Amino acid sequence: MSPFPFPAQGYLVGGAVRDLMLGKRPKDLDFVVPNPEEAARDLAHRLGGSIFPLDEKRRFWRVVAPGTTYDYAPMPQGLEVDLLRRDFTLNALAVNEQGLVLGLPIARYDLEHRLLRAIRKANLWEDPLRSLRAVRITLTAGLRLEPHTEGWIYEHAQYLRESGALPAWERVGEELSQILRHPAAAVGFLRLERAGLLEVYLPELAAGIGVEQHGAHHLDVWRHSLEVLAQLTLLRPDAHLALRWAALLHDVAKPQTRQWSPEKGRYTFYGHDALGAEQARQILNRLRQPSEVVAEAVRLVRLHMQHPPQGGRELRRFLHRRREALPELIWLQLADMTGILGYRERVEELREQLQAIESLAEGTPSPKPLLDGREVMRLLGLEPGPKVGEALAALLEAQAIGEVQSRTEAASFLRDAFGEDKGRMS
């Protein structure tokens, strides 16, 4: 039963038991033992892992070893009674080294039928995060919600929305990120919507439900966002978290920017990219996402309507100006276009075109400036300040598109663009 070290007189409890019985290898192991500190120190000595207290007063200890985290808590007075206080039957399991399993009898039925069942409605509602965690577990463990549990979760979602008694946003952000990292992330967010939880935690996305777009778009704003996320995970299974957030949030501002254009005979969404970038920043900061994830996702949302030109100097200019966003921007745009009915028949053509652009971006390094700041100041007679930075940026772009290839050409370019030669190059 045990592919890992078992503490003496200890029980493995919770989701790790569930995962083992479902044939999965858990990365986080929770044990209850008579002496948590002693068990943790013994394991750390055997594995060479690091050890630290999670809560010394409550005697919670953790050992971090390569590939696995081991948590130790004190053995409760009545383990079986303690299990009944947990959230779901499949999390209310305990097993010792000899393979003795403790838990509710119905848990075996739930395992066989891959059902996630709340032990009691009160247990589910005890922690405001549990309804969201339930949806995440169904996705990551390949389970279905038991019907009564599904109803309780929907009721809980309405209560959370009306009361505002939400869990800490750090916890919400971690659960949503786990859903987003999953290969079937779009399915997970669709389940959030059906459970009533999308409106609780991501009301900005829920605002897109039923907002029709017409034209080439065959789906409303919300369903299109899900489709783009689904396409991205198919096109780029290794897509990182920021790119996945960008796919989900790229059209978040469309409900606020939708206007009917009689001339065009369709809705327009002018400015949804810029407004959407600001909304994405607010959402991701609220969810306490890492600053680098926020910055990259916001950049991608802001740029997602700026498609690369076909070739020549303008393509090189695009690559120079958007280098920080590449190749992720290209893959977001491909997923976006693939999610539009009118473009689906061109998927392979678009994929080849954008992969060629990606290769060009990777094979065209950023040029090194032919002149430095001091030379630019002498050449143009400038004092230190923003104008020097503007001149250097313009020179780098001219080099990137092939307009300037030597120091002499660089000097001539700057004189033409920024004024007469008031200084002298050495």
State mean pLDDT over 77-85.
84
Mean pLDDT of the chain: 89
What average pLDDT does the segment 206-220 reach?
85
Residue 270 confidence (pLDDT)? 92
Partners of 116 in beta bridges: 145
Q: 3-state class of 127 per DSSP?
A: coil
Could you give the count of Cα atoms lying within 13 Å of 298 in the half-sphere of its Cβ? 17
Q: Highest-confidence range of 89-98, 193-202, 366-375, 403-412, by mean pLDDT?
A: 193-202
Of the given ranges (112-116, 145-149, 200-204, 354-358), which has the lowest mean pLDDT? 354-358
Answer for the pair 397, 317: CB distance below 8 angstroms, yes or no: yes
Residue 420's pLDDT is 55
Side-chain half-sphere CA neighbours of 244 within 13 A: 22
pLDDT computed for residue 418 by the predictor: 85
Assess whether pLDDT exceeds 50 at residue 324.
Answer: yes
* DSSP state for residue 406 in the 8-state scheme: S
Q: Which residues contact 117 (CB under 8 A, 6 or more apart)?
A: 88, 89, 90, 106, 110, 146, 148, 149
Other beta carbons less than 10 A from residue 232's beta carbon:
26
Q: What is the pLDDT at residue 339? A: 74
Stretch 325-344: mean pLDDT, rounded? 81
Candidate from 244-248, 269-273, 394-398 with smallest mean pLDDT: 394-398
Two tokens, residue 128:
């405001």
Measure the N-to-C terminal CA separation of the chain; round to a whole number of Å.
77
- Statement: residue 358 has pLDDT above 90: no
CB 137 within 8 A of CB 143: yes
Average pLDDT of the residues in 170-180? 97
Residue 337 confidence class, pLDDT cut points 50, 70, 90: confident
What pLDDT does residue 423 have?
Answer: 43
pLDDT of 424 strictly over 60:
no
Q: Report d(CA 224, CA 201) in Å as an integer.
A: 19
Domains and CATH numbers, the chain: 1-113 (3.30.460.10), 115-201 (1.10.110.30), 230-363 (no CATH), 373-418 (no CATH)
203: pLDDT strictly greater than 80: yes
Judged against a pLDDT cut of 80, whether residue 348 lies above it is answered with no
Residue 113 vs residue 56, higher pLDDT: 113
Tens of pLDDT, residue by residue over 221-241, are 999 999 999 999 999 999 999
pLDDT, mean of residues 60-72: 91
- Give the per-residue pLDDT at 175: 98
Distance CA(196)–CA(158), nearest Å, equals 7
Amino acid, single-letter form, for residue 151:
G
Residue 306 to residue 273: CA distance in whole angstroms: 10
Query: Residue 64 and residue 403: Cα distance in Å, rounded?
Result: 55
**Is the pLDDT higher at 109 or at 76?**
109
242: alpha, beta or left? (left if phi > 0; alpha if psi -120 to 50):
alpha
Q: Mean pLDDT highest for which of 37-46, 321-330, 365-374?
A: 37-46
Q: How far is CA 126 from the centre of its chain?
A: 27
Q: What is the mean pLDDT of residues 255-280?
A: 93
**Mean pLDDT confidence for 189-216:** 93
pTM for this prediction: 0.83
Band (216; pLDDT cuts 50, 70, 90): low
